[in-house]
Amino acid sequence: IARQLPPMFRALSWTLRGLHCSSIPLSTRMFSERADKSRSLADKVAVITGSTKGIGFAIARHLAQNGAHVVICSRKQWNVDQAVATLQKEGLSVTGTVCHVGKAEDRDRLVAKALEHHKGIDFLVCVAGVNPLVGSTLGASEQVWDKILGVNVKAPALLLGQLLPHMENRGGGSVVLVSSVAAYMPISKLGVYNTSKTALLGLCKSLAVELAPKGIRVNSIVPGIIKTDFIQMEKTLSYTPSDLNKIYGLQRLGEPEDCAGIVSFLCSSDASYITGENITVAGYSPKL
């Protein structure tokens, strides 16, 4: 009967017959595909800064759940120990170390820790940042400028420079910088912080062009107001959580997990043709 059909329908008939006659049930194939997807980062190695709480911790968990070996860090040993213990209890591959990303010796220790346990690095996710200091932009001291720009902008670039040879040895990789919606919608009294997060958008673009020939993709995410320790600062500013709910189209504040999925995607092969993008994760705001 199939031979009597027009060519287009004949091909469809044979395709459907092949699906029907397959020795592997459709439900089994679908489950297998989902299982493969859940291990999309298998045997990859990710270094994540500022990853013992909030957005960084959610990203670490998500990447590890997708099969990656994760190296986390924080300024406080107790936070590192707590985060590592939590993730290891979930059966995830994770190690950690103390690291203040603004200090060269700490960055050296982080790189050494990663290479001690793994042969190379595939992903770098830079979440660590200085808690914003409330005050006017022009009234900020030189020390404040140096501290915020040093940690939020300079440190990611310097750390990537240290990891670059090890990423090249793996044939490429992915870098994700975590900026902030404050880059687009400056928050009153946080001028230096706003500026640092805007600078990250430019750093993303510059690094993407520079590293593309090496097979290393660089993107950034731009979170809106996420339910982390940072939101406590909103109580001291002109915005309240109730006000912020009105800003976002989804009528809610973000969860750390809202950022984790997009970072995992950007690290995966599904995003192999995406670089130099600043991706907003803010529940839609008409002001952006």
184 given a catalytic annotation: no
Tell me the C-alpha distance between 268 and 275, whole Å: 12
- Cβ-based burial of 201 (10 A; exposed 0-12, middle 13-18, buried ≥19): middle
Orientation of helix 191-211 relative to helix 142-149, angle to 10°: 40
Cβ distance 154 to 172 under 8 Å? no
CA distances from 94 to 59, 103, 201, 242 (A): 12, 23, 29, 37
Asked whether the beta carbons of 263 and 62 are under 8 A apart, the reply is yes
Which candidate in 193, 248, 273, 284 is catalytic? 193
CA 79 to each of CA 84, 85, 88: distance values in angstroms, whole numbers, following the listed order: 9, 10, 14
Closest C-alpha to 261, from 253, 252, 271: 271
Can you tell me the distance from the alpha carbon of 285 to that of 147, in angstroms, rounded to the nearest whole number? 30
Residue 51 backbone class (left: φ over 0; alpha: ψ -120 to 50; beta: rest): alpha
- 43 vs 122: CA distance, rounded Å: 9
Catalytic residues, which ones? 193
